[in-house]
Amino acid sequence: MKDKNDSIGNPISRKKFLRVCGSAAAGVAVAAASGVLLRRTLATPPRYLWQIDPAKCTFCGRCETSCVLPVSAVKCVHANKVCGYCDLCGGYYRTNAKELNTAAENLRCPTGAIERKFIEDPYFEYTINEHLCNGCGKCAKGCNSFGNGSLYLQVKQELCKCCNECRIANVCPSDAIARVTHDKSYMLKDG
């Protein structure tokens, strides 16, 4: 039904005027909110994450026991490009192992997280089963003491709770764990 005041030159009713203004104001508000949200998304400062600097880490064992998670977010990482594929791996076998076999008394890892696969004489490939790794750092300490340092510790970002105050950082004797920007979320030795 056409309003008699709707034609050109005639004044529009107050009710219709308020409805048009309200719709226009709502449209402007939605557009402004979208613009602010888009600007915030594009200009978000880097998110900071906790990570271990492999050059500073002393493999003290506190990553395993100090994390707020029941099983630490810190896991052993293996730099395959750096590894020597040693038969007598310092990260796999305990010091003074009586025999080079997979008996628990001969292995350094208390959870069996390091898997060893024969490649060719005398080379073996080592992989880390992250589901079994508890972040104790015993393998990394052995590899860095008696090997080339291809085993080291890193905070797995998909597991980390990103605590405001990391309990591991608070007790780290070498200050190896610190906040880093998102682009440095992993400090890998492979590259």
Place of tokens 């052993």: 76
Q: In this predicted model, what pLDDT tens digit does every residue of 26-78 receive, in sequence order?
A: 666 676 666 666 666 565 555 889 999 999 999 999 999 999 999 999 999 99
Contact 142, 91 (CB under 8 A): yes
Share of the chain above pLDDT 70, in %: 81
User: So what's the pLDDT on residue 40?
Assistant: 62
Instruction: Give me the pLDDT at residue 112, please.
Output: 95
Which pLDDT score is estimated for 38?
65
Residues 159-185, mean pLDDT to the nearest whole number: 93
Nearest to 61 by CA among 184, 173, 170: 173
CB 166 within 8 A of CB 177: yes
**How many residues in total does the chain contain?**
191
**Of 42-51, 94-103, 133-142, the least confident:** 42-51
Q: State how far the Cα of 91 lies from the Cα of 60, in Å rounded to an integer.
A: 15
Would you state the pLDDT for residue 3?
Answer: 54
Torsion sign, CA atoms 64, 66, 71, 77: negative
Of the given ranges (6-10, 37-41, 90-94, 184-188), which has the lowest mean pLDDT? 6-10
Query: Which of 187, 188, 174 is CA-nearest to residue 49?
Result: 187
Q: Are 176 and 168 in contact (CB under 8 A)?
A: no
